[in-house]
């Protein structure tokens, strides 16, 4: 492996909103990220990001076209550019192909979302955890889920475990978007991924097993109103999210772990109608002699998430409420971040959802390039030391707060 401390060369795969933010943030730290390449299937998007960064920071960024599903093609580009680290901000379907290319070339890997198969709305870490021995034998490191949730939420938990609690017993992750983009219906990240995620059966961890409840658009979905800092009371729905899978495995003493996300009734009604008429289907249908996937067609009709920043107002509030023991006493702490859509747009031309994912992607990459995180094998975020990451959040745009809080109610 090349000397990352002296080189600092990163390849970003993907050219959407999150990749835009990550590239901007990397360009802001030239002492770490000395050379940057952005590669995706649509090279014009990469070039547009590169042009904006050149204008803002005076930094040249290399661009390239690559099909991330084509392992030999991607491996050839990696060998040509010789990055010290590949930051995967492409689609979750492509994770394994990109990991394969990193294995072939001996380059470290980091992403923001776990793998899910193209033909099934189901995501879990097992496919990527299966690479543990391969990465270990190759002497390279893979860090999974360095976004906000997963990512920062994992780091919040690790930080609390290290500095606040002797044992964490109850964990609730709450994700609130109290912003307004002005569209009748739009998704804040890739519509195909977003819709597949929120339409799934919900799971949460309780007393050593997974408990299933109806999807958020079904009768019987679990929800309640939570009073968020700055944003105020918002309807929050129980949702399955990938960080729960790794946290219940790596944070000892957890009796219950849940994830909540806010949704407006307008969003849910649109989603129910789209589901009922078949527009959220992920299988192929025949239309005028062509095979199309309805949700992919829907994606083409909806606003591009990267374009939502213009006129987007309001805040996001994401954090963890944790209850556990410290010196024999039961305590509860709430660690959270508040971000502003308009401020994110002024800095990077994107909305706060992309911003809160792209900044941690850059910070995770920084941890690896500077040697703050080292190892061989596959790691989830909570397995790594949180302190430097937490310091960087405050420095690079995602300041956090810790407050005392009452415990979450059991009945919801």
Question: Is residue 410, in this structure, part of any structural domain at all?
Answer: no
Confidence (pLDDT) at 2? 40
Could you tell me the pTM of the whole model? 0.91
Q: Is residue 412 part of a domain?
A: no
Q: Which of 12-26, 165-179, 221-235, 297-311 has the lowest mean pLDDT?
A: 297-311
Find the CATH number of the domain harbouring 122.
Answer: 3.40.50.720
Same domain, 193 and 101: no
Pair (143, 52) in one structural domain: yes
Residues 271, 286 within the same domain: yes
Position with higher pLDDT, 185 vs 49: 49
Is residue 409 situated within a structural domain? no
Same domain, 141 and 171: no
- pLDDT > 90 fraction of the chain, expressed in percent and rounded: 75
Cα dihedral sign, 398-401-402-403: negative
137 plus 159 within the same structural domain: no
- Over residues 73-96, the pLDDT tens digits come to 999 999 999 999 999 999 998 999
Domain count, the chain: 2
- Domain span at residue 252 reads 152-348+399-404
pLDDT of 332 > 70? The answer is: yes
Provide the pLDDT for residue 412: 59
Mean pLDDT of 213-232: 93
* 304 pLDDT tier (thresholds 50, 70, 90): confident
Q: Is residue 110 one of the residues assigned to a domain?
A: yes
Residue 34 binned pLDDT confidence (cut-offs 50, 70, 90): very high
Classify residue 143: in a domain, yes or no.
yes
State mean pLDDT over 134-161.
Answer: 98
Q: Which residue has the tokens 């819709």?
A: 195
Q: Are residues 106 and 220 in the same domain?
A: no
Burial zone of 114 (CB within 10 Å; 0-12 exposed, 13-18 middle, 19+ buried): buried
pLDDT at 6: 45
pLDDT of res. 1: 41
Confidence (pLDDT) at 71:
98
Identify whether the C-beta of residue 350 lies closer than 8 Å to the C-beta of residue 310.
Answer: no
- Assess whether 190 and 339 both reside in one domain: yes
Going by pLDDT thresholds of 50, 70 and 90, the confidence category of residue 224 is very high
Residue positions counted in the chain? 412
Query: What is the structure's pLDDT at 119?
Result: 67
Residue 261 domain-assigned? yes
Tell whether the model's pLDDT for residue 366 goes beyond 60: yes
Residue 399 CA to its chain's centroid (Å): 17
| Contact assessment for residue 305 and residue 189, using Cβ atoms and an 8 Å cutoff | yes
* Backbone CA torsion sign across 260, 263, 265, 267: negative
Q: What is the model's pLDDT at position 306? A: 64
Tens-digit pLDDT profile for residues 94-107 = 999 999 999 999 99
Mean pLDDT of the chain: 92
| The pLDDT value given to residue 411 | 59
**367-371 mean pLDDT:** 97
**pLDDT class of 297 with cuts at 50, 70, 90:** confident
Same domain as 369, residue 334 = no
Do 202 and 321 belong to one domain? yes
Give residue 121's pLDDT. Answer: 63
Q: State whether 59 and 114 are in the same domain.
A: yes
Interval 312-331: pLDDT, tens: 889 999 999 999 999 999 99
- In this structure, the answer to whether residues 263 and 187 fall within a common structural domain is yes
* Residue with more model confidence, 138 or 7: 138
**Confidence (pLDDT) at 283:** 85
Could you tell me if residue 166 is inside a domain? yes
Is residue 294 situated within a structural domain? yes
User: What's the whole-number mean pLDDT along residues 259-271?
Assistant: 86
Reply yes or no on whether the pLDDT at 3 is more than 60: no
In this structure, what CATH number is given to the domain that contains residue 172?
3.30.360.10
Cα–Cα nearest to 171, from 244, 102, 220, 99: 244
The pLDDT assigned to 300 comes to 85
Contact 316, 336 (CB under 8 A): no
pLDDT of residue 218: 87
C-alpha pair distances (Å), 230 with each of 82, 309, 334, 352: 45, 20, 14, 15
* Segment 216-233 mean pLDDT: 93
The span from the CA of 408 to the CA of 49, in Å, is 42
Compute the average pLDDT of residues 224-246: 96
Q: Are residues 140 and 175 both part of a single domain?
A: no
């Amino acid at each position: 492996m090349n000397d990352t401390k002296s080189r600092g060369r990163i390849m970003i795969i993907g050219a959407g909103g999150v990749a835009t933010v990550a590239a901007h943030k990397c360009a802001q730290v030239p002492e770490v990220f000395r050379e940057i390449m952005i590669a995706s299937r649509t090279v014009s998007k990469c070039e547009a990001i590169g042009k904006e960064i050149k204008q803002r920071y005076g930094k040249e960024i290399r661009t390239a076209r690559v099909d991330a599903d084509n392992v030999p093609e991607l491996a050839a580009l990696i060998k040509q550019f010789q990055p010290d680290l590949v930051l995967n901000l492409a689609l979750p379907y492509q994770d394994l192909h990109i990991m394969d290319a990193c294995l072939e070339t001996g380059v470290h890997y980091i992403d923001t979302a776990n793998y899910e198969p193209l033909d099934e709305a189901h995501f879990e870490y097992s496919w990527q955890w299966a690479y543990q021995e391969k990465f270990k034998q190759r002497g390279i490191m893979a860090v999974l889920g360095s976004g906000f949730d997963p990512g920062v939420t994992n780091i919040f938990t690790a930080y609390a475990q290290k500095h606040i609690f002797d044992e964490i017993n109850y964990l609730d992750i709450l994700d609130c978007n109290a912003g307004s983009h002005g569209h009748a219906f739009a998704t804040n990240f890739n519509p195909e991924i977003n819709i597949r995620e929120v339409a799934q059966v919900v799971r949460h961890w309780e007393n050593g097993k997974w408990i299933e409840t109806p999807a958020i658009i079904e009768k019987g979905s679990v929800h309640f109103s939570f009073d968020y800092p700055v944003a105020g009371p918002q309807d929050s729905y129980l949702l399955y999210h990938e960080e729960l899978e790794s946290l219940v495995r790596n944070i000892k003493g957890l009796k219950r772990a849940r994830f909540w996300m806010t949704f407006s009734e307008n969003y849910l009604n649109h989603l129910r109608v789209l589901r009922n008429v078949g527009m959220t289907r992920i299988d192929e249908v025949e239309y005028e002699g062509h095979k199309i996937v309805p949700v992919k067609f829907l994606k083409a009709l909806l606003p591009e998430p990267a374009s939502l920043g213009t006129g987007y107002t309001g805040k996001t509030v994401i954090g963890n409420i944790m209850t556990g023991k410290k010196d024999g006493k039961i305590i509860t702490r709430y660690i959270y971040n508040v971000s502003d859509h308009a401020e994110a747009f002024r800095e990077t031309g994107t909305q706060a959802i992309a911003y809160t994912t792209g900044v941690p992607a850059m910070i995770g990459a920084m941890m690896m390039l500077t040697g703050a995180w080292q190892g061989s094998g596959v790691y989830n975020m909570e397995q790594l030391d949180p302190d430097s990451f937490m310091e960087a959040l405050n420095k690079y745009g995602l300041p956090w707060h810790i407050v005392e809080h009452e415990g979450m109610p059991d009945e919801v």
